[in-house]
Every structure is written in structure tokens, then in C-alpha cells.
Amino acid sequence: MAAAGTTRSARPAEVERRWLVVDAADQVLGRLATRVATILRGKHKATFTPHVDTGDFVIVVNAEKVKLTGRKLEQKTYYRHTGYPGGVRSITAGRLLKGPHSDRVVRNAVRGMLPKNSLGRDMLRKLKVYAGPEHPHAAQKPEEMQIG
């Protein structure tokens, strides 16, 4: 028991993780991503500790139906590198959402809001994004979560 007036830090072994399902259909991408990133970090819990991963698992379904405001479908560009010289590839958000990797739009938005270190990479592993309404995590008994 900590003395009165002292700060209590969470320990990795003490963290209780829940599984949450978020439906991304007709949600604005940035607002969805900030809420998901907050849950992955654990900032919604009273036991939040910046240097410990206290967050929950998040399953995002219907990622292909996410909304982008303004002209982002034509103007927002995603870049990646193949690893070979001159291997920079670019694709617009509209083409990425229509293609086979439509889940990457949500994953990239959330990744940009997490810490850029090994702790952030651990948090990103707790994010499961699926383009359609189905997911293979029924055994974890995920809870439905409303956003907005």
C-alpha cells in the first residue's frame, strides 16, 4: 500500500486487458484513430503509467467504410519503400480504401498517434484491423464499444 500523497506506477504483470470491438463504418478517420490510440495506450484507465503498456486490445471492423473529410480521398497520399533503390511507392487514400489493403488507412492513422519507440510498437500489436464486418477473435469475448 502506497503512502498518502505518493504516485502509484502500474507494473506490467498487474495490467488487466480487455478486448474491445469498434465499428468504423461511417466514422471520421481522425476521430476514430484518436479514440483507438487512447485505448491502446491505456489513457482511459486510472492506472495509466506512461512507461508501461496499460492499454486494451482493440478490434476495428468495417475499416473499408471509414469516412475521410474534405478532399482527402484524392489528395492524401501514403508512401512506402520496397527496400530497393528507387523503390518509393505512393498511393492515394481513395485507391488504398478500394484496394485489397483497405485496413492500412486506419492502421496508419492510429500508428501515427502512438509513441515512436518499442513501447509504441508493442501497443500497435494490440490493434487488429479488418476491412469487413467479420473478425476471428470471438473466443476473446470482445465488448462492443461506441465511438462518437
Q: Is the pLDDT of residue 5 over 80?
A: no
Domain boundaries, the chain: 16-68+99-145
CATH H superfamily, domain 16-68+99-145 = Ribosomal protein L13 (3.90.1180.10)
Residue 3 clears pLDDT 80, i.e. is over it: no
Cα–Cα distances (Å) from 78 to 5, 49, 121, in that order, read: 47, 32, 19
Spatial contact of 72 and 108, defined as CB atoms under 8 Å apart = no
Closest by CA to 57, choosing from 11, 17, 107, 103, is 17
Half-sphere exposure of 142 (CA within 13 A, CB side): 22
> What sign has the CA pseudo-torsion 67, 73, 76, 78?
positive
pLDDT tens sequence across 81-124: 999 999 999 999 999 999 999 999 999 999 999 999 999 999 99
Q: Residue 1 — pLDDT band, cuts 50, 70, 90?
A: low
Write down the pTM of the prediction.
Answer: 0.92
